[in-house]
Structures are given as C-alpha cells and as structure tokens.
C-alpha cells in the first residue's frame, strides 16, 4: 500500500533513483503475494493460469493498438470498479455473518473483476503508448511499468482463483 501511494500520490515515482526503488519494492511485494497465493493451488492450475494470462495480455495488447480510444471510457470503468468493490464487500460481509461460502457468487464476482481488470490493462497500455485522451508523459515510465505489471499480476491471481474454484467443483 505504501508503494502504491509512492507511485500514485507523490512525485517520487517521477525521478530516479527513487522511481527505481519504488518499482523494485512493488515487484518484490507482488512476487511475494503471487507466490503465497499460488502455493495454495496445484501446479497444473498455476500453469493453466499462466497460459490464460499470457493469452489475455496478448489480446489486451492487440486491443491497445487498435484505433478505438479505451482511455476515453476510464471514468465509466472506475465507476464500475467501485460498484463491483461495494458488491464484493457486501458479499464478504454476508459470508462472514452466515459462515457459508457462496462459491457460485464468488466465481461470478471473480469473473467480473477479471473482465474489469482486463479493460483497465488495455486502458493502461493505451495511456503508456500515448496519442489518446489519457496519456502518460515521458517522465512517467516507472509509473507506466508499475501499472502494467500490477495489472498483469492481478489478472493472473484472479485467473488462478477462478480455476481453483472450478477445480474444487
């Protein structure tokens, strides 16, 4: 969370060597998180999730190079993300109160969150490429790398969780 703040809310991410330190901390933190989460799943699930993530990222890159401006829709994606987050919090509270795991609901929410994250990855790729409604300056290269890396890892972790739920039956 501190690394996210350093990148998004401070000028630290724009100037070397602080931007490289923040990027290194983000990579280490996300790697530890991914290692911890994937250690709970079978190797085949992690392999399938890696292949699926590579395919999804490839599609997002193809979409980012199209003439359609995804960055113009960023406000709608943010509103959808906030609404989805509120729904997820309500479902988590319901599961804590009732003590029941609602796997079909969790599966649907994970799929929706993955789709939103894929759209966000496409928006981030277009903002890094430039020439759209929203674009990063040349001083924001570390921020662009941070956004794309964390989005790809987030998509991977969501796909791992989806495959894990489907594997449990």
Q: What is the DSSP string of 28-56?
A: HHHHHHHHHHHTTS-HHHHHHHHHHHHHH
| Contact status, residue 153 vs residue 30, Cβ threshold 8 Å | yes
- Residue 86 CA to residue 93 CA, distance in Å, equals 11
pLDDT band at residue 140 using 50, 70 and 90 as cut-offs: confident
The per-residue pLDDT for range 25-55, each reduced to its tens digit, is: 889 999 999 999 999 999 999 999 999 999 9
Question: How much is the pLDDT for 9?
Answer: 75
The per-residue pLDDT for range 104-135, each reduced to its tens digit, is: 999 999 999 999 999 999 999 999 998 888 99
| Contact status, residue 140 vs residue 13, Cβ threshold 8 Å | yes
Q: How far apart are the first and last CA of the chain?
A: 34
Looking up tokens 């890892």 gives 153
> Averaged over 128-150, what is the pLDDT?
89
The mean pLDDT value of the chain amounts to: 92
Cα torsion angle, 42, 48, 49, 54, sign: positive
């Amino acid at each position: 969370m501190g690394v996210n703040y350093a990148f998004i809310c401070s000028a630290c991410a724009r100037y070397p060597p602080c931007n490289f330190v923040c990027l290194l901390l983000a990579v280490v933190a996300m790697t530890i998180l991914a290692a911890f989460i994937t250690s709970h799943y079978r190797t085949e699930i992690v392999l399938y999730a890696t292949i699926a993530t590579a395919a999804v990222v490839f599609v997002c890159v193809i979409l980012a190079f199209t003439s359609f401006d995804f960055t113009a829709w960023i406000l709608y994606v943010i509103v959808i993300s906030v609404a989805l987050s509120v729904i997820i919090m309500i479902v988590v509270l319901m599961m804590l109160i009732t003590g029941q795991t609602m796997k079909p609901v969790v599966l649907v929410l994970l799929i929706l969150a993955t789709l939103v994250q894929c759209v966000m990855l496409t928006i981030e790729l277009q903002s890094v490429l430039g020439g759209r409604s929203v674009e990063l300056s040349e001083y924001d290269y570390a921020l662009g790398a941070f956004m794309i890396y964390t989005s790809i890892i987030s998509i991977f972790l969501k796909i791992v969780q989806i495959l894990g739920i489907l594997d449990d039956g």
